[in-house]
Structure 1
Amino acid sequence: MTHACLRIALCTSALWLCASATAAPATVVVENKTRPTACAEEDNVSLALSGRGIARFRVEALQPPYLAGIGADTTAPDFSNCNFDGGAHPTDPSYAFKPRRVVLHDGRQWMIVGITLPTFWRPHRVPVRVGQRSEDDIHLLQVFAKKPGAKPLEAIVMYPADGYWRLKPLPLARFGDGVYGSSFLMGPIETDGRPVVNIASIEVMTQPLAFRLRFASGGRADVKVAEISETRTALDVTLAPPTRRDQPFAVLRSMYVTADNADVSALSWQATPSSAMQTQDLPSVSTVEAAQVRFGRTVPSRHNTSAPDIRFSGFETAGSGR
């Protein structure tokens, strides 16, 4: 009897231990579906990640590599080449809601706030449970990190009705509250005017901080908040069931006008875990295979200058165990 078979015979209640002996880190395909725009406030960047059997990965918001060389941030919106001026996008539907703000959790480490917006582009109502409290009209979940003697700082936002996430590290002192840049989706990607993830319900656990998302099409994602610091905000994600190759499991959404007017202007990636890093300007990327990929900027941008890079890494198949 082989060692693997012996382990199966001895571990019938934990077969995943046997599978972990042969599994290897995975790679994913990143496809660039970006379209050109002159509007700095439009998400024209769309980068889709797909791969067969992906069960776990990490997504991080990291400080941009040029941060030490800039003293001031540029955060003002620029609608100069847009066909809207800060309100709803003209092509979006608009559904009315009664606006409100509710504190769903206020503990020693975290404050979690739910926002209902006066209008939103989708009518979907997603049940959200935090502890014993349930709400069904939350458009925006905010996670604030708390430190003694300092004001809470927002590090994570999540939109239950369309599945979008945004992350940022805790800002360095000279950058105030810091700014978000790119957003992303995780789960079964669908198209409803733009990429979305349809979520059936969300449960938020506070000790440790984690989200459980159940998808409308079946399956779930367990999202553990692994770190919130000035270096990174990191999520460890487990998908069940694992992914299929023919459907993206994550999409990064962002904006690019020029290299110095973008929230993402370059990709850096490893083709395999042992490969050297490669970097390529966003417009010249078509499709890459990656063991990890960082969506970021190599030169300071005049749009959200301190906004973070977003990195996906740690891709694992179902049998590999973290």
Structure 2
Amino acid sequence: MVCGRTLFLLSLAVVMSQGIAAPASVTVSNHSRATACAEEDNVSLHLWAPGITRLRVEALPPPYLDRVDRDITTPDFSGCTFDGSAHPTDPAYRFREGRVVLHDGPRWRIVGLTLPTFWRPQRVPVRLGQRTVRGIHLLQVFAKTGDASSPREVLVLYPADGYWRIKPVPAPRFGDGVYGSSFLLGPVVDDGRPVVNIASIRIETRPLVLRLRFADGGQARVAVAEASRERTALDVSFAPPWHRATPFATLRSMHVAPDNADVSEIRWRQDANAALQVQPLETVQRIEATDVRFGRSIPSRHNTSAPDLRFHDFEAAGR
């Protein structure tokens, strides 16, 4: 039997045979809608590009963070039609609740949670070493850093719908910190909301790498390149190169107003030599970028310390 690593290396060889990867730009299209609910993901920003093979995703502290003493993390359902116990449009599949520690080493702790209910029935196999677990809804990665009294969660992945969230190691005054925007990596399709269907996940810990096999073919290698106060960074590789009619990534977030949002503006460069452009989220419809950051410039009363998300270092296979 051919193992997942061998398949990825074979696919990578195909990429190399098609030409050396080169810096690339991507198209970002805005499919967001207005809402009064601060607990609803009404922001959808799709990233498209032919032939994409690599990119980096970073979670960065918002630029105003040094001026903030108190984090605001309390949910606000005042403008919502639901109370937070469940979204009214979601189905509720039932599972046997559980928690499993997949890895607890000198650098990382990796935990899998099975929730009592989840909105999708998929039971994606997650393998680490010789152990395979099915039915994990929330995969948590905790970083063990020298300046923290206990491991700090810096990454979560929902295997059943493909959602990722990352954040830098929080400053002590912010406790465990909070997530803000989430994102998808892989063939994004609509199932009531954007999702990525993952067939299986294999985890390596030296270095920390998550290898994803997608349900309709293709693979991604996601390496945790850094987890620090400055950033948490993921280096992503696709094999084979991205030649699909779907986005290769989607950012999902919330926006009610500039001071009540997880993302309220977009910063980007059209190419390496171009000037930085900054526009409010709602004014952007479609842009071309080699470097794009989704974030905030003024403190938000929603998840105040939540990070900006930056997508850059795009590469595409040569032709």
Q: What CA RMSD, in Å, does the superposition of the two structures yield over aligned residues?
A: 1.6
Shift in alpha-carbon separation, 1:218–1:266, aligned structure 2, 3 A: same
1:142-173 alpha-carbon deviations (Å, 9 max, x no partner): 00001357201000000000000000000011
Distance 1:14 1:303 in 2: 45
In the alignment, is the contact (CA less than 8 A) between 2:202 and 2:212 conserved in 1? Answer: yes
Counterpart in the other structure of 2:95: 97
1:101-131 alpha-carbon deviations (Å, 9 max, x no partner): 1100000000000000000000001000011
Distance 1:319 1:143 in 2: 35
> Offset at 1:298?
1.1
Counterpart in the other structure of 1:169: 168
Distance 2:45 2:228 in 1: 26
Structure 1 residue identity aligned to 2:283: S
In the alignment, is the contact (CA less than 8 A) between 2:106 and 2:144 conserved in 1? Answer: yes
Distance 2:242 2:17 in 1: 20
> Offset at 1:255?
0.1
Structure 2 residue identity aligned to 1:24: A
| SS of the residue 1:269 aligns to | strand
Shift in alpha-carbon separation, 1:280–1:14, aligned structure 2, 3 A: closer
Structure 2 residue identity aligned to 1:90: P
> Offset at 1:199?
0.4
Residue identity over aligned pairs, in percent, reads: 63
| SS of the residue 2:155 aligns to | strand
Distance 1:127 1:197 in 2: 15
In the alignment, is the contact (CA less than 8 A) between 2:22 and 2:317 conserved in 1? Answer: no
Q: TM-score, normalised by structure 1?
A: 0.92
The range that moved more, 149-158 or 161-170, is 149-158
| SS of the residue 1:115 aligns to | strand
> Offset at 1:17?
8.4
In the alignment, is the contact (CA less than 8 A) between 2:15 and 2:317 conserved in 1? Answer: no
Which of 130, 138, 141 is equivalent to 2:139? 141
Distance 2:22 2:98 in 1: 47
Counterpart in the other structure of 1:41: 39
> Offset at 1:27?
0.2
| SS of the residue 2:251 aligns to | strand
Counterpart in the other structure of 2:218: 219
After TM superposition, list the pairs within 5 Å mapping 1:97-246 onto structure 2: 97-148=95-146, 150-244=149-243, 246=245
Tell me if 1:270 matches 2:274. no
In the alignment, is the contact (CA less than 8 A) between 1:295 and 1:310 conserved in 2? Answer: yes
In the alignment, is the contact (CA less than 8 A) between 1:50 and 1:245 conserved in 2? Answer: no
> Offset at 1:14?
9.7
How many residues of Structure 1 are paired with residues of Structure 2 in the alignment?
Answer: 306
Tell me if 1:86 matches 2:76. no
Distance 1:14 1:46 in 2: 32
In the alignment, is the contact (CA less than 8 A) between 1:51 and 1:245 conserved in 2? Answer: no
> Offset at 1:60?
0.5
Q: What are the ranges of 5 or more consecutive residues in structure 2 without an aligned counterpart? A: 1-12
Distance 2:214 2:66 in 1: 40
Q: TM-score, normalised by structure 2?
A: 0.93
Distance 1:250 1:28 in 2: 10
Q: What are the ranges of 5 or more consecutive residues in structure 1 without an aligned counterpart? A: 1-12
